[in-house]
Structure 1
Amino acid sequence: MIPEYVSALRRAVGPDHLLWLSGVVAVVRDGNGQVLLQRRSAGGPWTPLSGIVEPGEEPAAAVVREVAEETGVQVLVERLAQVGTSPQVRHGNGDLAQYLELVFACRPTGPGQPARVCDDESVEVGWFALDALPPMSGRMREIIALVERDEPQAWFTPAP
């Protein structure tokens, strides 16, 4: 669902004006070598769960909210894993955006939490073994691999 503040911005500037937004990505690992993924309604490859940070919302709270809204899985944030910039994206509705991405390593609050599609943002969600990931972009595989390295400090894209 598009946050109301983004809809208001779009009404003011139109779909072709690039919006710079804060986004969160959750790499949720269950401790059994599985990761929680989604296929968005717009189609395309699988990705970790993600969403937009609402104005005034703490990023860690946003990632917990997004995972619960989209899959019904309750998570705990373990650490900030990466800070970077997404490529520009033209969403299915025509909107042009780019995101400051905050990638978080997360885990479910309890064992065996089933995932289910909980809103209209996803067509499928599920747990996948790390050695049997579904089709996804190389960039998404890199994000998952970065979290899997389990380094205590966040990774930052080097300056050019």
Structure 2
Amino acid sequence: MPVPDFLRELRSQVGHDLLPLVGVTGVVFDGAGRVLLHRRSDDGRWATPGGILEPGEQPAPAVVREVREETGVEAVVERLASVLGHEPHTYPNGDRVQMLDLAFRCRAVGGTPTVDGDESLDVGWFDRDALPPMSVRITDRIDHAAADRSEPFYVA
């Protein structure tokens, strides 16, 4: 996964110290209720598309951009599905981050699932009862987005 320029510049000043970052995730459904997933190029795992919110970006347009970049699918945001802070994570290079993830329920409105050659190894639509193996964090995002509720899930 490419490191955004702003993060590369910040890392040049703070080294591997823990950085709080905001991530956006798109849980995209098609008209048949299937969910859009991509197989990440950095670890080979299936996941919902998303990325880091860049300075000056608004979260909803950012998630639409990330979905398009990683999957080729055009989406519109329907609602905020969950707001969750994750445990600190250390990357193999020693960089430490703690993500605040804003997951959005989205609806596909166009495009064709396409491997981007950079961040995605595979892209496809999956029925919720036939998801490939993935982390509980990802399946929880999908469940929160699929839930019939107007307010986002969060830990109280």
- TM-score, structure 2 normalization: 0.92
CA offset at residue 40 of structure 1? 1.3
In the alignment, which residue of structure 2 is the partner of 1:109? Answer: 109
Q: Any conservation in 1 of the 2:44–2:121 contact (CA below 8 Å)? A: no
Post-superposition CA distance 1:60-118 (Å, at most 9, x none): 010000001111111000001111112222235442211111010001114xx421111
In the alignment, which residue of structure 2 is the partner of 1:145? Answer: 143
Alignment length (residue pairs) = 155
In the alignment, which residue of structure 2 is the partner of 1:36? Answer: 36
Cα root mean square deviation, aligned: 1.4
Secondary structure in structure 2 of the residue aligned to 1:109: strand
Cα distance in 2 for partners of 1:123, 1:93 equals 22
In the alignment, which residue of structure 2 is the partner of 1:135? Answer: 133
Find out whether 1:85 has 2:85 as its counterpart.
yes
Superposed, 1:27-66 pairs within 5 Å as 27-66=27-66
- Return the structure number with greater strand share: 2
Q: Higher mean Cα deviation, 41-50 or 131-140? A: 41-50
In the alignment, which residue of structure 1 is the partner of 2:8? Answer: 7
Q: Would the alpha carbon gap of residues 79 and 48 (structure 1) be closer, same or farther in structure 2, given more than 3 Å must change? A: same
Amino acid aligned to 2:118:
D
- TM-score, structure 1 normalization: 0.90
Q: Higher mean Cα deviation, 50-59 or 33-42? A: 33-42
Q: Would the alpha carbon gap of residues 92 and 117 (structure 1) be closer, same or farther in structure 2, given more than 3 Å must change? A: farther
